[in-house]
């Protein structure tokens, strides 16, 4: 029976929905995380009678057609790139982006990745790196005798060095943005890579045209709203149950029809 196959596609779609929601909930405290949202499309239709088809020899036409759908499919699990809350950390190398932009991160294999996670630190050589030791571009090294480091809203890094009355400028943290940031591909570790859908990265700095500003001693929280995700989880569960009831009802109808013909 067609209804069983159609309902099965609905159950698979809601199973995918629950997986995405569970991942959002699991990352509710992940720095810079952007929640995912599932989008669905209906499947092909079988046309028994097209709208506008002739219904008589006098050129009368059917005002509506007869179409039977075959179910649903998951078409995308795009990310919602809205701003997360900014929370203080009291750590001098933690940075939050307020507004548009991504940090540019250099991987050990030479690839360039992008992130909203600004939980940075220094490695043994004094270079600004991520928690995994990946270099923050354009490559900023803090002297080992620096007494304090400041990073302004434009990403300019300055350090107070003994023997100097004015702070020493060490460089400027670069930001990038994309025409279609939803098209970025997640590779884990709070990192993204560009794709054909995202477009080429547009370089800039904090406070520049189209870019947000940086805040030192702060981090951006994930944009997951726990109450919203739990509500979506309940709705997905109800949709899954309804599809399972359709399968049960279709099975009972098939059994009743079989017994009728046997009797």
Task: List, for residues 235-245, the tens digit of each pLDDT value.
Answer: 999 999 999 99
Per the prediction, the chain carries an average pLDDT of: 92
Instruction: Return d(Cα 153, Cα 206) in angstroms, integer.
Output: 6
d(Cα 77, Cα 214) in Å, to the nearest integer?
Answer: 29
Instruction: Evaluate whether 150 touches 216 at the Cβ level (below 8 Å).
Output: yes
pLDDT tens by residue, 186-203: 999 999 999 999 999 999
User: Hunting for tokens 């203080």 — which residue is that?
Assistant: 88
pLDDT band at 147 (very low <50, low <70, confident <90, very high): confident
Mean pLDDT of 213-236: 96
Q: How far is CA 20 from CA 16, 39, 233, 251, in A?
A: 6, 11, 10, 30
In this prediction, residue 257 carries a pLDDT of 79
Better pLDDT: 214 or 254 = 214
pLDDT, residue 263, reads: 61
């Amino acid at each position: 029976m067609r209804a069983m196959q159609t309902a099965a596609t609905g159950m698979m779609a809601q199973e995918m929905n629950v997986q995405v929601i569970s991942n959002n909930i699991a990352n509710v405290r992940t720095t810079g995380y952007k929640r995912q949202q599932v989008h669905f499309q209906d499947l092909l239709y079988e046309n028994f009678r097209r709208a506008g088809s002739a219904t008589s020899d006098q050129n009368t036409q059917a005002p509506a057609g007869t179409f039977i759908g075959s179910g649903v499919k998951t078409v995308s699990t795009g990310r919602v790139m809205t701003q997360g809350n900014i929370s203080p950390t009291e750590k001098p190398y933690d940075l939050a982006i307020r507004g548009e932009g991504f940090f540019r991160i250099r991987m050990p294999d030479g690839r360039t990745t992008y992130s909203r996670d600004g939980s940075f630190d220094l490695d043994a050589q004094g270079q600004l790196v991520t928690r995994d030791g990946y270099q923050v571009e354009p490559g900023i090294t803090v002297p080992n005798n620096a007494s304090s480091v400041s990073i302004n809203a434009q990403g300019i890094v300055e350090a107070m060095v003994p023997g100097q009355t004015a702070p020493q400028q060490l460089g400027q943290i670069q930001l990038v943005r994309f025409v279609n940031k939803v098209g970025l591909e997640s590779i884990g570790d709070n990192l993204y890579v560009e794709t054909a859908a995202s477009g080429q990265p547009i370089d800039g700095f904090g406070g520049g045209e189209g870019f947000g500003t940086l805040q030192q001693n702060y981090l951006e929280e994930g944009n997951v709203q726990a109450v919203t995700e739990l509500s979506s989880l309940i709705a997905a569960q109800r949709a899954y149950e309804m599809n399972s009831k359709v399968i049960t009802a279709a099975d009972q109808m098939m059994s009743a029809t079989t017994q009728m013909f046997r009797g």
